Amino acid sequence: MDLLEDFFSNLDGAIPKEKVKTDNAKSNYAKKVHMNAPPYQGRLEFVPFPSKDVTEGYQAFLKGVKQVKFKSKSDDKTSRWHRILAKSEYGELTSEESNLYDLVSTKFDEFFKLERKTNKSSWKTVAIASYALMYGIHQSLKDPIEAKDLTSEGVPKKGDPCLYIFKHKYIAKEIKSALAMQSSAIGSKSWILKVFNNSTTKKAVDGTDNRVGSVLIDFYQKADAPGYTTGVRFNFDTQFVPAIPNDWSVEESKVETFRGLVNSFIGWQGDWENNKRFSTKTFNSILSFLTNSIIKKTAPVAPPVDPTTLGDDTNVPF
């Protein structure tokens, strides 16, 4: 199979419905990096790794994710996004789970329409989004103008295992285009295997290179217009400056956190004790919030009372 197709066959949006189950999803984990969040926007460099879920490869794409933000517990300090993926992403559901999913999805649609009509800032609390997901060992995240390392709280450190989350529908096309352009410039596609692989060392035992480059992705909000500046490139070894240091290596324990892109994305919302993405507890929590919110928004409002119609109550003994 063509290398581009082999490594990135899901770039056109075809996501397998059958998923490999993964254990211990709540133990060691890859750090989530939401690239749309201002602290993480800039020039990203990382060493890509494939998912250990063999149905995913190097990327996963989630379309039409329904999400609503609220505090699921009374003692939660901040609201969190609760997400409803496409039904097929949850694998085989019981009839009860299927019915619950359908009910929550329908309630979301109702709430989404109400919020859009009544709340100008509704995008802050309810949304439908698409995501591109990639794993990698973090190299750097720099300011796109000054090329300085970003140091905001939460920015990954060099060597951290990360799940990079792009809420942007064009990132997949740009990655595919960058692969094709680089292959055309080099005159070969063999370089792909030297950038996209699961090797934990720069050098092989015989001294040859396991890796010759990393991925560079520009992703930051435009200063003078809506939307994002995006771009995908590859950083390759040169004669004098290696893209990845010759003594580069990564612990196997870090690579083990790359157990499944979608599972990592779902995170705490899954039922990992039963090794399932679908959590009845999470969906009931979403249902409760949506139901109560819809009632509040649709409850009839009592008309104001006209005090002149109340009459004289000065003789009322109580």
* DSSP letters spanning 194-252: HHSS--SBSB-TTS-BS--EEEEEEEEE-SSSSSEEEEEEEEE--SS--SS-TT-B--H
Least confident span in 18-22, 133-137, 252-256, 279-283 = 18-22
Cα separation, 125 vs 92, whole angstroms: 29
pLDDT single digits (tens) 85-102: 999 999 999 999 999 999
CB 108 within 8 A of CB 68: yes
* Sequence spans of domains, the chain: 3-18+26-291
Cα separation, 314 vs 289, whole angstroms: 45
Q: How many CA atoms within 13 Å lie on the side-chain side of 84?
A: 27
pLDDT single digits (tens) 156-190: 999 999 999 998 767 878 888 999 999 999 899 98
Cα separation, 180 vs 161, whole angstroms: 27
DSSP string, 118-172: H-TTGGGTEEEEEEEEEEEEEEEEE-TTT-PBP--TTPPPTT-EEEEEE--TTHH
Provide mean pLDDT across the span 240-245. Answer: 86
Identify the CA nearest to 131 among candidates 67, 44, 190: 67
Confidence of residue 299 (pLDDT cuts 50, 70, 90): confident
Total-model pTM? 0.84
